[in-house]
């Protein structure tokens, strides 16, 4: 219950449990210099979270674009999409508690992040400083890139991110011509998705959207999720499987190959290498930015047609 001031004394705040606090304690510090919090009830905290979270879930059950995975590719895509189209309801589903994927570090647990030109343009756009090495630039800490990008993405009013939530299937429907198209995602809280083998059926939830952008990274416990599901759902004959490291071939292949691989589904970032059988680039992140930007433009094109 919200705090209610008594009618007898406007300097006194009285709560449902009968406790009351004098208004003089509602200041930041008392006369002895001790920090004083404004009083709160436990139920207020619960309701403040529940109301907003479930209102978001209710509203985003139908989205314009769902981005699966908030690594460097997914976040670059979200930024480009949200900044160019404030009218779109963009919903990001991230399986991990911490969004950012592999972009908290540069490579082999080292902090500097290498980005090949011309992707340095994106750094200037989001306001991340770097050292220029000629053909490439270096951000002093990968976390500076990821935290800046993440904070900008989350500040857009049209973006909702649900982390600790996994996409565990795709919605696949027949369109009016009888062709199969991806029309949404099937979600579950990640802790539930990881426990399907230990519990009886724990059914999921759905989000429908005309465009799904999958950015789940290369193969791993959850990575390359949509590419793998396309195969098991009969929409793709087989995976190309990511090839060995070749920076010079890998980066252009990922950016230029970013596309709608099946109606309604765009692949971006390293997930595409598993679909197409292209090389990995190792610890250079320009292609993740370029691919994310291209995926955003593809999505806008699909929505506008």
Residues contributing to the site for ligand AHZ (CB under 6 A): 68-74, 93-96, 101-103, 166-167, 215-218, 222-223, 225, 269-270, 280-282, 285, 288
Helix (H) or strand (E) holding 92: strand 90-94
Q: Residue 113 CB, nearest distance to ligand AHZ (Å)?
A: 9
- Work out how close the CB of 150 gets to ligand AHZ at its nearest, in angstroms, rounded to a whole number: 11
Pick the closest to residue 95 from 189, 174, 217 (CA basis). 189
Annotated binding-site residue numbers for substrate: 73, 94-95, 102, 167, 203, 218, 270, 280-282
Residue closer to ligand AHZ (CB basis): 86 or 282: 282
Q: Shortest Cβ distance from residue 269 to ligand AHZ (Å)? A: 3
Binding positions? 73, 94-95, 102, 167, 203, 218, 270, 280-282
Q: How far is the CB of 51 from ligand AHZ (least distance, A)?
A: 25
CB 93 within 8 A of CB 66: yes
CA proximity to 103, closest of 150, 153, 159: 150
Residue nearest to ligand AHZ (CB): 71
| 14: β partners | 4, 20
Nearer to ligand AHZ, 108 or 198 (CB): 108
* Cβ closest to ligand AHZ, residue 101 vs residue 257: 101
Residue bearing tokens 């009016």:
176
- ∠ CA 92-93-97, rounded to 5°: 115
Residue closer to ligand AHZ by CB (options 13, 226) is: 226
Angle of CA points 236, 241, 246, to nearest 5°:
140
**Closer by beta carbon to ligand AHZ, 13 or else 165:** 165
Least distance (Å) between residue 29 CB and ligand AHZ: 41
Phi, psi (deg, nearest 5) at residue 159: -105, 130
Rounded to whole angstroms, how far apart are CA atoms 22 and 20?
7
């Amino acid at each position: 219950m919200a705090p209610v001031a008594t009618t007898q004394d406007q300097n006194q705040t009285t709560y449902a449990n009968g406790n009351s606090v004098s208004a003089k304690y509602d200041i930041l510090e008392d006369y002895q210099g001790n920090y004083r919090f404004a009083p709160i009830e436990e139920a207020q905290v619960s309701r403040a979270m529940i109301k907003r979270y479930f209102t978001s879930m209710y509203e985003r059950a139908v989205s314009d674009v769902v981005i699966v995975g908030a690594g460097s590719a997914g976040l670059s895509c979200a930024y480009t999409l949200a900044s160019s189209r404030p009218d779109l309801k963009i919903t990001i589903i991230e399986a991990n508690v911490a969004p950012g994927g592999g972009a908290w570090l540069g490579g082999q647990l080292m902090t500097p992040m290498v980005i090949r030109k011309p992707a340095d343009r994106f750094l200037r756009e989001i306001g991340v400083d770097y050292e220029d090495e000629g053909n490439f630039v270096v951000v002093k800490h990968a976390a500076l890139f990821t935290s800046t990008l993440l904070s900008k993405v989350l500040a857009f009013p049209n973006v909702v991110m649900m982390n600790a939530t996994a996409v565990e299937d795709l919605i696949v429907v027949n369109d009016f011509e009888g062709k199969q198209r991806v029309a949404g995602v099937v979600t579950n809280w990640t802790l539930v998705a990881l426990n399907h083998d230990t519990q009886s059926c724990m059914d999921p939830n759905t989000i429908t959207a005309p465009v799904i952008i999958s950015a789940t990274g290369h193969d791993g416990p959850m990575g390359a999720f949509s590419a793998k599901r396309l195969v098991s759902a009969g929409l793709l004959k087989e995976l190309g499987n990511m090839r060995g490291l070749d920076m010079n071939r890998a980066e252009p292949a990922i950016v230029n190959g970013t596309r709608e691989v099946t109606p309604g589904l765009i692949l971006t970032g390293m997930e595409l290498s598993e679909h197409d059988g292209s090389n990995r680039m190792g610890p250079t992140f320009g292609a993740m930015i370029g691919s994310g930007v291209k995926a955003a433009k593809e999505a806008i094109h699909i929505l506008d047609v």
